[in-house]
Chain A
Amino acid sequence: QVQLQESGPGLVKPSETLTLTCSVSGGALSPYSWNWIRQPAGKGPEWIGRIYSSGSAKYNAFLGSRVTMSVDTSKNQVFLQVTSVTAADTAVYFCARGPPFTSQYNYMDVWGKGTTVTVSS
C-alpha cells in the first residue's frame, strides 16, 4: 500500500526559500505523476503543480517563477521548492499521487497527511 509523507521546516522567514519533501513508501515513483497542493487555513485547496517521474513538470502560474519541483527516484522522494516566500505562502502543503502519463484520466488517488508551513519572522 503506497503511503506519502510530507516533511519540511514548519517555520520559514519571509524572503527565504521553502523546500518540502514528499517521501513515498510501498511503491515506486515511476510511472506515476506527483502533485503538490496547498491549502491556506479555512480556505479551499490550490493545485501547485505536477511532476512526472521523468522530471517533466507543469506549474500553476499563480506562483510565477518561484516554484520548482524535482524527483529523486533513487530515494523515492519528490521535492517542492518555493523561493522568496511571503505570509501568503502560509498553508498546509500536501503531496498526492497522480496517474501515469498514458492514463486516459487525471486524478489524485493517494495523498499524504500534509505538512504545515508558516511564513513569519
Chain B
Amino acid sequence: AIQMTQSPSSLSASVGDRVTITCRASQGIRNDVGWYQQKPGKAPKLLIYGASTLQSGVPSRFSGSGSGTDFTLTIRSLQPEDFATYYCLQDFTYPWTFGQGTQVEI
C-alpha cells in the first residue's frame, strides 16, 4: 500500500497566520490527493480534491498544490474555525490511504 507521510504532526498558530501542511507519498500518485478537515466528534470534511480543486462551499483561503509525490495544503489566513485536524488521502490506487494527520492548535 502507498504510504502518505504527513508533516508536521501538530502545529501551533495564531489567527491570521499562514499555515502549510505537507504530505509525501511513497510513490508517484499523479495529482490524486484529497485534503480533509476533522473537528472533534465530527466526520471529516472534504476541502480539496485532485490535489488543487477546491470543494464547493470551502473558503478560498484554503488551497492545495503538488503532484507526483509531494503535496501541500495551505491556509492563507487562519480563522478561529480552522483549528482542527487535517488529513491527506491518496486515492490514486487501492487501498486508499490517509496521512497520519496534522493537528492545528491555537
Contact = CB atoms under 8 A, between A and B. Distances in A.
Interface of A: 37, 44-47, 49, 58-62, 94, 96, 104-109, 111-114
B91 A109 contact: no
Given A44-B87, A47-B89, A60-B94, A106 B32 contact: yes
Nearest to B48: A107
Contacts of B36: 45, 108
A47 B96 contact: yes
A110 to B, nearest CB: 8
B34 A107 contact: yes
Nearest to B34: A107
A44 B94 contact: no
B100 interface: yes
Interface residues of B, number: 25
8 A-B pairs closest in CB distance: A106-B91, A107-B49, A111-B43, A60-B95, A47-B96, A105-B50, A44-B101, A109-B46
15 contacts: A44-B98, A44-B99, A44-B101, A45-B36, A45-B87, A47-B96, A104-B50, A105-B53, A105-B91, A106-B49, A107-B91, A108-B44, A109-B49, A111-B45, A113-B43
A9 B96 CA distance: 27
A8 B37 CA distance: 25
B43 A114 contact: yes
A118 to B, nearest CB: 16
A16 B49 CA distance: 37
B65 interface: no
A114 B44 CA distance: 10
B97 interface: yes
Given A44-B99, A47-B89, A58-B94, A112 B49 contact: no
A109 B46 CA distance: 6
